[in-house]
Structure 1
Amino acid sequence: MLLKRISVLLTISCGFIGCTQTPPISKAISSHPIQPTTFSPQSSLLPPASYQAWLLQSGHQFKVQAYKNFLAQQRVEFVVPDFEMFRSARDWQQCHYDEYDVPDPSVWGNAVATLRLLKYLHDQGIVNNIEVTSSYRSPYLNLCAGGAKTSSHLLNSAIDFRIGSPQPSGQEQLEIQADKLKLCKFWQQQGQSWRMGLGIYNTGQIHIDTQGFRTWGPDHTWHSSLCGEIIL
């Protein structure tokens, strides 16, 4: 596929998790034809025993249901099982934290735009076979995990996911790369109207948020982003 470098006028600087952008992108958001959806489970995967045990502790089940009720009122839904969306961070054990967490109510509203974006990407066939690995992170966990002070995970506006299996075969790697290119093309063509942030890492992790139009790669700047090239 023929690729041509984009002339980038914005300087992007990113921390370990999350990015900042100078100068800031305009906050005007164009409307999107999001169809009302029924808030219902999107997968038949059985939750792991660890999630079921966590639900029974400290009123977690009540908090989960309250959050899901709020999202239902906003007409948004998860496109992956609940236990994936409530994962805290991959470093939860090292930080002596729970594997799952419910966002603080003060940031519930920030998830709406990003959940709509993820569902749109899923419904359009741009991303398939994904596994969410992290979403909301409490201030303590974000600090312990080395997250940026302004990380969009703190705001409950970010979702990290992986496409395909943890150890993909050669053929699957080609399919994953094709999906990443589709995601980049979407970001280039429609990302600004969604205020979409997109990070693609060598680990296979992909980050999306709706906190500003920007992209970054393994070195946490736009220079290393796969999306810094025109996808034909």
Structure 2
Amino acid sequence: MKTIIIEDEKPAARLLQRKLEKLQIKVDILLHSVEEAIEWFTKNEHPDLIFLDIQLSDGLSFEIFEKIEIKSAVIFTTAYDEFALRAFKLNSIDYLLKPIDEDDLIMAVAKYKDRVPKKEKLQLDFDEIKKVLANPFEKEFKKRFTVKIGQHLKVIGVEEVECFYSENKGTYLHTFDNRNYLIETTLEILEQELDPQKFYRVSRKFIVPIAAIKEIVLYSNSRLKVILPSYNEEDVVVSREKVSQFKDWIN
């Protein structure tokens, strides 16, 4: 089995090489950049397996595949978090998150060896990789909340939320069925956890989902008032400094 490592950090490349040699896998060559890899693949027979870092010293490794049709199986080695890798995990053999755990390495190699005899077509969707790597730290947004009701816990999906609001130093979610629940967080944290395409913080006191906006009306001092299906404890007003951005968001 011919194996190569493409890794811009030479100590990391040598460490991975030693770990592979402990598994009786000989590494034939170490490459350290996009340019070097393209030149090597142009002139040499492609290996059976590549251990490939995503971010190299002169660019992202998917640039290699734009120039060369790679026929090898690939195991990614990366410092990116698991959410950024999800889009292409099924299209490669596996990925190893740095620092590389030996048990994970053993499992990845075993997965490769298991697939080779079956002669599966190993095809990487590099358009999808490029889409993901355009925002390598892309994360999953919050999908549900757990609230305490007496001695019971209730799970509420974000699709059930009509708005979030703060009151008396507490943070609450209000549901479409006209119920309020105290949650252990702040609007500042929620603003980072919620999908910004679906939720918008209209003021210091309110975050609203676009799905809950029933009507928008003019309000005093060049502000806007958001009408929600059931929440009517007080006016939900878009702050004057947020009006322009809010209009862009709803469009």
Calculate the TM-score normalised by the size of structure 2: 0.24
Q: Which has the larger radius of gyration?
A: 2
Calculate the TM-score normalised by the size of structure 1: 0.25
